[in-house]
């Protein structure tokens, strides 16, 4: 009798107790996305506040705002100090209405709806906002 061949994904799923990771929360830059919270939440934390910010509206709802391009994580802790939710947060460009002009190390962002207006000023290398 032949032994079944296990794939790496099957082994990892078995080791994780069959639990699947929650999908990443994708937030457009300079916009917000609502997030439902489980009951009994004590703390809601963002790994890198330069990438995303979170505001808790009430016991069951929060809003995650995209501040800078990148990936971070969101951790929700209950009244007993247990992690009850952990999500990867990806802040990316919106699908439409935004243009980036890259000139060497400088990046200029424009919001476009009918016409284009500069948004957020000039950005230097790595997306850092330049000071006027």
Q: Do 43 and 71 contact (CB within 8 A), yes or no?
A: no
pLDDT at position 118, please?
Answer: 82
Residue 1 CB contacts under 8 Å (≥ 6 apart), including other chains:
none
Asked if residue 83 and residue 38 are part of one domain, the reply reads: yes
Asked if residue 88 and residue 25 are part of one domain, the reply reads: yes
Q: Which pair of tokens denotes residue 117?
A: 């207006």
pLDDT at position 107, please?
Answer: 82
Asked if residue 44 and residue 105 are part of one domain, the reply reads: no
Please state the pTM of the whole predicted model: 0.62
CATH number at residue 53: 2.60.40.1080
Asked if residue 122 and residue 83 are part of one domain, the reply reads: no
Q: Which pair of tokens denotes residue 7?
A: 């794939």
Q: How confident is the model at residue 13 (pLDDT cuts 50, 70, 90)?
A: very low
Predicted confidence (pLDDT) at residue 105 exceeds the cutoff of 80: yes
Greater model confidence, 44 or 6: 44
Domain that holds residue 72: 21-92
Q: Which of 16-20, 26-30, 120-124 has the highest mean pLDDT?
A: 26-30
Asked if residue 114 and residue 74 are part of one domain, the reply reads: no
């Amino acid at each position: 009798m032949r032994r079944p061949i296990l794939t790496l994904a099957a082994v990892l799923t078995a080791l994780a107790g069959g639990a699947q990771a929650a999908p990443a929360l994708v937030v457009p830059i300079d916009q917000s996305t609502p997030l439902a919270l489980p009951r009994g939440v004590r703390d809601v934390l963002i790994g890198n506040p330069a990438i995303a910010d979170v505001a808790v509206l009430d016991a069951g709802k929060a809003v995650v705002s995209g501040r800078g391009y990148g990936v971070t994580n969101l951790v929700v802790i209950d009244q007993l100090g247990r992690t009850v939710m952990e999500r990867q947060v990806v802040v990316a460009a919106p699908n439409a209405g935004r243009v980036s002009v890259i000139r060497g190390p400088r990046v200029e962002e424009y919001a476009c709806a009918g016409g284009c207006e500069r948004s957020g000023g000039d950005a230097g290398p790595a997306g850092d906002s330049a000071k006027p």
